[in-house]
């Protein structure tokens, strides 16, 4: 038993197994091969469709059949990954050149998914059939065993174009990801041909042919100057904008129509864009929007935003670019499997890898064709020779006892046992010496081949065969000849499938939105005890003072351009713009401040709400549960961030009170156990907001501060201590950090 136990370091086993797993995901699942630009699932799906005979000019077949066959033979990783791959290869809004011709509901640009695989049908597109799979019978690529070694599949498809660049690719592996944008087929082919003619071309020179990415959705690339670095290194960021046109209605209203969207907006991004545009109006960033509608159809994208007559259209466009995904960033990372390992490559290297692959596949192709032509030539020469001595051949056949005797005579000149008419015939028979293949062809030749026209056709075929052999040998021995053949193939593809560029390439300055100046006025802010807040007319505060005190925790006058500062028991400060709150009447409900800030009403409690501009003119007193006190200049809370720490708290401590210091002379701390301590406000020092503060009162065991009161010089105030009224002004003024006196219940 001990002999079968292998002792090893656990970390080494984990490391080895993880590396094996990572490489399996990288090579066998997530990343495309730079040679054919296909991931394994894509390659296997296309090959299976080829095996099923789903040619572009034949009937469609159910997608479920394709998925099941692919999964059973080549890709045992679940049907969803195969069907998703099949769907994407059929979507012309995701791929520049679809490889699958789909029939049925294969989804749309707005994010609606494809129908179930039992409903849709598919077949190969013409481009995929003619340029991805057509030469598989010519031994152009290696075939490898499938997962259970019952079938064989191509290690790579003999793709004739730089497909990795044309259709792009997205994939997430372990520790790495690929995100290659699609490109214009014609431009990529032009660049590859140019590089074949002059291998010394630089990336910058190749970009005379490849202007930049060409997305199926069109749009505008706005950072053309960054593209040379991106194509040199293989990574970077491309900024893309949707295309917008302006229409004017008879009533003077302006319609802003989005006719092309950024590639990154495909799917749910369109719905998110509509929500974001609506939010611009709801959040009062603009008041120019009258209506928004999505009128997109099979004819193309048409998102209509109706604007008011006096709208600054250019400024509104810039608002869309800044606040929505109408302008977005596409992260480029041209990572692919190259020579068995993942590598990020630039434009030139990718094109060179494609060229090298073309030379490899064409070398194998023409070697196969050359061998076939040489075999054909051998047989043709044997038949021609036999026709020239047909009488002797017939005499051999008639005089032989069986096929083996006749073949032995034709190949080796052995005449034993064969009856000849004359000795001269027997002597001539010994000199024939046909090859094995020639002898078989002669023995199988039909008599009609002796007709004159048939003989002429045989001689003509022989001439063609000789010419083909000469041509193939020239292609295989002369790299320039091979290069011309590849270039011609590429030009044929360009002519058949090339299309005009959809995406514009330009240098456009970053969008700058200038917000309309808001007329500054006084408004009233109110918030009830449940945290619902709103703004009202400032005059309503003066008219309804009594109702405000009974129904609302906080109410004050502020500017409509200002912010509200919310201090919580957890020591946080949240700021809310007055414009983010709904304007209404006093009895309107308002909205929870949670909706317009990061405040969480379930986890903390608001201690003070105040106008941020008012705080700049005063100081604030902070008192905590553990009796830590400090005064902070209100200007420290004039911050741009929506959430900051208003004070520093010890473990287990929380804020009990935050008060704006105005004319208060003394302050009184009340504890849970009924102790009161009154001392001058001036004894609390001013500190920064990130300080803990000083101790305001000595607390007994398990005691804590629960209330804070303030008195002016002539102030009178009653406190209720468990039903016992306490006249605070009668309390003795002591010093800070005392124990205080206990109020005896009556």
| Active site residue ranges | 119
CA distance 570 to 645: 9
Write the burial class of residue 39 (CB in 10 Å: 0-12 exposed, 13-18 middle, 19+ buried).
buried
| Integer CA distances (angstroms), 551 to 314, 532, 544, 558, 633, in order | 46, 11, 10, 19, 30
Phi and psi at residue 407, to the nearest 5°? -65, -40
Pair of tokens at residue 361: 């596949």
Strands 666-671, 675-680: pairing kind: antiparallel
Alpha helix ranges (H) inside 53-206: 63-73, 79-90, 126-128, 163-166, 185-197, 203-206
How far, in whole angstroms, is CA 631 from its chain's centroid?
A: 51
**Residues 304-328 as b or e (16 or more Cβ within 10 Å = b):** ebbbeeebeeebbbbbbbebbbbbb
Asked whether the beta carbons of 90 and 101 are under 8 A apart, the reply is yes
CA distance 375 to 372: 5
- Residue 667 carries which DSSP code? E
689 Cβ neighbours under 8 A, 6+ residues apart: 632, 636, 637, 645, 646, 647, 648
Strands 504-505, 220-221: pairing kind: parallel
Pair of tokens at residue 356: 């090298």
CA distance 501 to 398: 72
Q: What is residue 16's three-state secondary structure?
A: helix
Nearest to 239 by CA among 173, 350, 328: 328
CA distance 437 to 386: 13
The residue length of the chain stands at 746
Question: Which DSSP string corresponds to 114-161?
Answer: PPPTTT-EEEE-HHHIIIIITTGGGT-S-EEE-TTSSSEEESS---SS
How far, in whole angstroms, is CA 36 from its chain's centroid?
A: 21
| Count of other CB atoms within 10 angstroms of residue 540 | 16
Alpha helix ranges (H) inside 601-706: 612-615
Q: Which helix (H) or strand (E) segment is 428 a member of?
A: helix 423-429
Looking up tokens 């997608």 gives: 63
CA distance 220 to 507: 9
- Residue 116 carries which DSSP code? P
Count of CA atoms in the C-beta half-sphere (13 A) of 300: 13
Helices vs. strands in the chain: H and E counts, helices first: 21, 35
Q: Which helix (H) or strand (E) segment is 41 a member of?
A: helix 40-51
Give the 3-state secondary structure of 268-336. Answer: HHHHHHHHHHHHHHHCCCCCCEEEEEECCECCECCEEEEECCCCCHHHHHHHHHHHCCCEEEEEEECEE
Pair of tokens at residue 144: 């490898």
């Amino acid at each position: 038993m001990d002999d079968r136990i292998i002792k090893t370091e656990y970390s080494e086993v984990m490391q080895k197994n993880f590396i094996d797993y990572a490489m399996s995901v990288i090579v066998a699942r997530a990343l495309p091969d730079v040679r054919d630009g296909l991931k394994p699932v894509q390659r296997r799906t296309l090959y299976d469709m080829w095996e099923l005979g789903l040619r572009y000019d034949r009937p469609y077949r159910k997608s479920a059949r394709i998925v099941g066959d692919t999964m059973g033979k080549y890709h045992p990783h679940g049907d969803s990954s195969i069907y998703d791959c099949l769907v994407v290869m059929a979507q012309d809004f995701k791929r520049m050149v679809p490889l699958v011709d789909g029939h049925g509901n294969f989804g749309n640009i707005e994010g609606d998914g494809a129908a179930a695989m039992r409903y849709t049908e598919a077949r190969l597109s013409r481009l995929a059939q003619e340029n991805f799979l057509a030469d598989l019978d010519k031994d152009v690529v290696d075939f490898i065993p499938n997962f259970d070694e019952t079938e064989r599949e191509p290690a790579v498809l003999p793709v004739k174009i730089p497909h990795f660049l044309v259709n792009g690719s997205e994939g997430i592996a372990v520790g790495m990801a690929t995100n290659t944008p699609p490109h214009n087929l014609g431009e990529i082919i032009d660049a590859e041909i140019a590089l074949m003619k002059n291998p010394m071309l630089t990336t910058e020179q190749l970009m005379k042919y490849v202007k930049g990415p060409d997305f199926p959705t069109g749009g505008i690339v706005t950072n053309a100057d960054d593209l040379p670095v991106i194509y040199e290194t293989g990574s970077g960021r491309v900024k893309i904008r949707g295309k917008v046109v302006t229409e004017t209605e008879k009533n003077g209203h302006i319609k802003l129509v989005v006719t092309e969207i950024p590639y990154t907006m495909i799917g749910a991004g369109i719905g998110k864009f509509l929500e974001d545009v609506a939010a611009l109006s709801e959040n009062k960033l603009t008041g120019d929007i009258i209506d928004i509608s999505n009128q997109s159809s099979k004819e193309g994208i048409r998102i209509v935003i109706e604007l008011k007559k006096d709208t600054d259209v250019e400024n509104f466009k810039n608002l869309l670019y800044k606040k929505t995904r109408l302008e977005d960033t596409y992260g480029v990372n041209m990572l692919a499997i190259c020579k068995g390992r993942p590598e990020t490559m630039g434009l030139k290297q990718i094109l060179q890898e494609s060229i090298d692959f073309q030379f490899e596949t064409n070398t194998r192709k023409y070697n196969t064709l050359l061998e076939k032509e040489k075999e054909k030539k051998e047989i043709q020469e044997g038949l021609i020779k036999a026709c020239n001595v047909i009488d002797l051949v017939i005499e051999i056949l008639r005089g032989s006892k069986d096929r083996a005797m006749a073949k032995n005579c034709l190949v080796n000149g052995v005449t034993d046992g064969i009856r000849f008419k004359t000795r001269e015939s027997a002597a001539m028979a010994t000199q024939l010496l046909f090859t094995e293949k020639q002898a078989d062809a002669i023995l199988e030749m039909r008599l009609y081949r002796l007709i004159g026209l048939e003989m002429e056709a045989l001689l003509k075929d022989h001439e063609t065969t000789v010419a083909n052999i000469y041509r193939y040998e020239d292609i295989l021995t002369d790299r320039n000849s091979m290069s011309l053949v590849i270039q011609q193939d590429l030009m044929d593809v360009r002519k058949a499938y090339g299309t005009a560029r959809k995406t514009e390439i330009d240098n456009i300055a970053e969008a700058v939105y200038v917000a309309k100046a808001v007329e500054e006025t006084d408004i009233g802010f109110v918030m009830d005890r449940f945290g619902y807040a709103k703004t009202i007319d400032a005059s309503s505060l003066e008219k309804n003072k009594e109702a405000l005190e009974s129904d609302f925790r906080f109410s004050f006058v502020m500017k409509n351009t200002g912010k509200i500062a919310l201090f919580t028991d957890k020591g946080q400060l949240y700021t809310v713009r007055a414009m983010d709150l709904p304007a209404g009447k006093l009895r309107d409900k308002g909205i929870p401040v949670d909706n317009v800030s990061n405040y969480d009403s379930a986890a903390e409690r608001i201690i003070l709400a105040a106008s941020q501009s008012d705080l700049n003119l005063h100081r604030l007193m902070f008192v905590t549960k553990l009796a830590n006190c400090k005064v902070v200049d209100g200007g420290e809370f004039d911050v741009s961030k929506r959430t900051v720490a208003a004070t520093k708290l010890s473990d287990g401590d929380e804020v009990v009170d935050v008060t704006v210091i105005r004319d208060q002379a003394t302050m009184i701390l009340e504890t849970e156990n009924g102790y009161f301590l009154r001392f001058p406000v001036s004894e609390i020092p001013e500190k920064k907001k990130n300080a803990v503060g000083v101790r305001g009162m000595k607390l007994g065991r398990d005691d804590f501060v629960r209330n804070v009161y303030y008195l002016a010089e002539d102030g009178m105030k009653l406190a209720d201590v468990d039903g016992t009224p306490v006249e605070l002004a009668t309390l003795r003024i002591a010093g800070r950090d005392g124990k205080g006196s206990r109020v005896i219940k009556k």
